[in-house]
Structure 1
Amino acid sequence: MRLIASDLDGTIIGRDGKISSRTVRAFRDAADAGVQIVFVTGRPPRWLTPLREQMEHEGTVICSNGAVLYDLATDRVLSAQTVPHRDLFAAREIILGLHPHVGFAAETIEGFQLEPGFVESGSVELLGGIVPRPLHESLRPGDAVVKFLARGHDLDPDVFLAQVRPAVSHLVEATHSASGVALLEMARPGINKAVTLAHYAASLEIDAADVVAFGDMPNDIEMLEWAGHGYAMASGHPGAIDAARFKAPAFEDDGVAQILEARLALL
């Protein structure tokens, strides 16, 4: 074990935004043992506060499902893989042809833009004053889109993904990570957590066989398959569990900490 790659939400961060003290201690013990650590998340850089305040992590984070490589110590984007606006709008039309009442949003390097109907009207106040507008009005030519989102209402998340993914695969790479919410996350084709993690590991001269990865949702599947030791959370999505070689105890049981403690005892 030379590199630990961990997802955040549902893997080490709960719905309350907290990381358990046992998990924090396990990661610190791993770092003290000389193991490299990288967090791999669907979150954008601006949502990394738990890593700073609870984990006191200052290293590299792979954000936006692999589209962004971010240096937390300097608050700097190291690299970004963006979705061309023309492909975003083409995918939008295809999705609307399948589900006419879907709402859309775009995550950019600079911030977040959303259309009317993407969230409940009462939730807009929680988005920091963002005014919903059609993306063709709010996106400027130079805005670097790293994640395109589509939210369906009263749709099954897995069914929604299964219908949309093949229809837009020539334009965007689609996945989802929100349990119980039909929210598709789309990136530039060929971009996912595994691709960026593989490049990052190679920069450290670490092979996949020496990587231990943790995740719980469909957006983790490629990473869990790529890592030599990919652990899906027992509390995770069935697709992630089926894809992973190994299974960690549930999030509620500090599953990641349990695995790290056991592996560190063997070093």
Structure 2
Amino acid sequence: MQLIASDIDGTILGHNGKISQRTVAAFQSALTAGIEVVFVTGRPPRWLDPLRDQVGHIGTVICSNGALVYDLAREEVLSTKCLSIADVLAARAAIKAVVPSAAFAAETIEGLFIEPGFLTETAPEALKAIEPKFLSESLQQERGVLKLLAKTSEGSSDEFLARVRPAAAQWVDATHSAPDIALLEMSKVGVNKAATLSEFAAARGIGAAGVVAFGDMPNDVEMLAWAGRGYAMASGHEAALAVTDLVAPGIDEDGVAQVIERLLVGQ
């Protein structure tokens, strides 16, 4: 075990917004043992406070499902893999054709751009402060689009993904990580957590065999399949559980900590 790569939401961060002390201690023990730790998340850099405040992590974070690599200590973007505006708008049109109720937003290097109808009444106040505009109006060529987001009130995320993925596959790779709402996350074709993590590891002389990864949702599937030891959370989505024979106890049982503790004993 040379590198630990962990998802955040649903893997180490619960619905209460807390990361357990046992999990924090397990990561610290791994670092003390000389093992690299990197977090690989769908979150953008502005939503990394749990890592700073609870884990004390100030290293690299792979954000936006692999579309952006961020140095948390220097608050600096290290690299990006962005969608073109043309591909964003083409994917939007294709999705709208098969799911007319879909509403859209775009996560960019500068921030979030929201179309009318994307937000609900329960959305955070910070998001409600964003003026809704259609992406064809708000996106400019100099803005790097990290993720195209699509949401509908019809059905589940799995059902939404099954309709959208074939329709938009020419322009984007689609996945999801939202268990309770039909919200899809779409990146540049070929961009996912595994693709960027493999580059990060290779730059440190680490191959897949030396990587232990943890995740719980469809946006973790490629990472779990690529890592030498990819652990799906027992509390996770069936798609994550389907790609690996390794299962960590659920998040409520500090599953990531349990596995790290066990692996450190066997080092």
- What does the per-residue CA deviation read over 1:115-142, in whole Å, with 9 as the maximum and x for residues that have no partner? 1111214526341621111111222221
TM-score, length basis structure 1: 0.98
Runs of 4+ in 1 over 6 A off after TM superposition: none
Identity of aligned residues (%): 56
- Whether 2:143 is the aligned partner of 1:146: answer no
Kept in 2, the 8 Å contact 1:229–1:245? The answer is: no
Kept in 1, the 8 Å contact 2:98–2:167? The answer is: no
User: Offset of 1:143 from its aligned partner?
Assistant: 1.0
Q: Which residue of 1 aligns with 2:217?
A: 217
User: Offset of 1:171 from its aligned partner?
Assistant: 0.3
User: Offset of 1:95 from its aligned partner?
Assistant: 0.6
Q: Which residue of 2 aligns with 1:246?
A: 246
The number of equivalent residue pairs is: 267
- What does the per-residue CA deviation read over 1:99-125, in whole Å, with 9 as the maximum and x for residues that have no partner? 111110000001001111112145263
Q: Which residue of 2 aligns with 1:159?
A: 159
Q: Which residue of 2 aligns with 1:182?
A: 182
TM-score, length basis structure 2: 0.98
The residue identity in structure 1 corresponding to 2:40 is V
Q: Which residue of 1 aligns with 2:105?
A: 105
Q: Distance in 1 between matches of 2:210 and 2:24?
A: 21
- Whether 2:238 is the aligned partner of 1:262: answer no
Q: Unpaired segments of 5 or more residues in structure 1? A: none
Task: Give SS of 2:123's match.
Answer: helix
RMSD: 1.0
Residue pairs, 1:56-205, within 5 angstroms: 56-123=56-123, 125-127=125-127, 129-205=129-205
Q: Which residue of 2 aligns with 1:14?
A: 14
The residue identity in structure 1 corresponding to 2:242 is D
Q: Distance in 2 between matches of 1:126 and 1:142?
A: 24
The residue identity in structure 1 corresponding to 2:45 is P
Kept in 1, the 8 Å contact 2:23–2:256? The answer is: yes
Q: Unpaired segments of 5 or more residues in structure 2? A: none
Q: Distance in 1 between matches of 2:106 and 2:80?
A: 15
1:264 and 1:132, CA in 2 relative to 1: closer, same or farther beyond 3 A? same
